[in-house]
Amino acid sequence: MNIPINKVQQFLDWLKIKLYLDSNAQNAARRMVKRGQVYRCNFGIGIGSEIQKERPAIIIQNDIGNMKSGNTIVIPITHDASTLPCVASITAQYESDGTTLKLDGQANASNIMCVSKARIGTYICDLSPSDMKSVDEALAKALGLIGYYSSLSKKLDDKLNYINKIKQERNAAQDSLSEIRNLFQLSEDEDIISFLAHLKKNIDTLQ
């Protein structure tokens, strides 16, 4: 097996960095990060097409996990031109001067990773709720959960439609009862159900 010398050097350099990060893991475990925040994250050298080098990453682990664990779960932000369903575009964010770009790119949910907080570097920004919604949808597609949530959404829509139908029928019944009260000049104290039963009895007698 012929391995290029520069590749060997890259792995040796990364090993040094990993040893340093590992020595800092215990202190980093106490660091508090929150879901939806974006930090620099050192992914180092991956194998094959794994995500590599330092780049922005979105914290997607829930905050209870972030508080209790020395690890967190992230999705890296890249600048590839992928149009896969598991990719979510990130709205560009700028520094306070309005011109210096702070963050842009795409979140590729297929590259989701659990990392030590020792890999987490400087804070960049928080994602907007709409961007996090897009990231969550991309994540559901990447993990094969979108069908499950689509089914739940359909069931919820069916329930809401049924409830609306019941409300419409109730309103129509109330309108009909009001018309009957007005037609027969019934007071509010009179029991309309008893009146209708009496009316039906008399009609049946006539028949």
CB proximity list for 120: less than 8 A, separation 6 or greater = 28, 31, 33, 39, 40, 41, 57, 72
Q: What percent of the chain has pLDDT over 70?
A: 96
Amino acid at residue number 38 = V
61 and 88 in a common domain: yes
Query: Is the confidence at residue 204, as pLDDT, over 70?
Result: no
Segment of 4-18, 32-46, 158-172, 175-189 carrying the highest mean pLDDT: 32-46
Domain of 19, in residue numbers: 5-144
What pLDDT, on the 0 to 100 scale, is given for residue 82? 76
Torsion over CA of 14, 19, 20 and 26, rounded to 10 degrees? 130
Residues 43, 76: Cα–Cα separation, whole Å: 9
Within 10 Å of residue 31's Cβ, how many Cβ atoms? 13
| Burial grade of 100 (CB within 10 A; 0-12, 13-18, 19 or more) | exposed
Mean pLDDT of the chain: 87
Neighbours of 181 (CB within 10 A): 15
**Do 117 and 28 belong to one domain?**
yes
Same domain? 41 vs 59: yes
* 169 in the same domain as 73: no
pTM: 0.70
Q: Provide CB contacts within 8 A for 62, sequence distance 6+.
A: 35
Q: Is the pLDDT of residue 37 over 90?
A: yes
Asked if residue 39 and residue 13 are part of one domain, the reply reads yes
- Asked whether the predicted pLDDT for residue 207 surpasses 60, the reply is no
Return the half-sphere exposure (C-beta side, CA atoms, 13 A cut-off) of residue 103: 24
Q: Where are the beta strands (DSSP E) in 112-197?
A: 113-116, 120-126
Domain count, the chain: 2
Distance CA 142, CA 136 (A): 10
93: which 2 tokens?
A: 């964010």
Q: Which range (11-15, 170-174, 175-179, 203-207) has the least confidence?
A: 203-207
- Residue 106, pLDDT score: 93
- 99 and 183 inside one domain: no
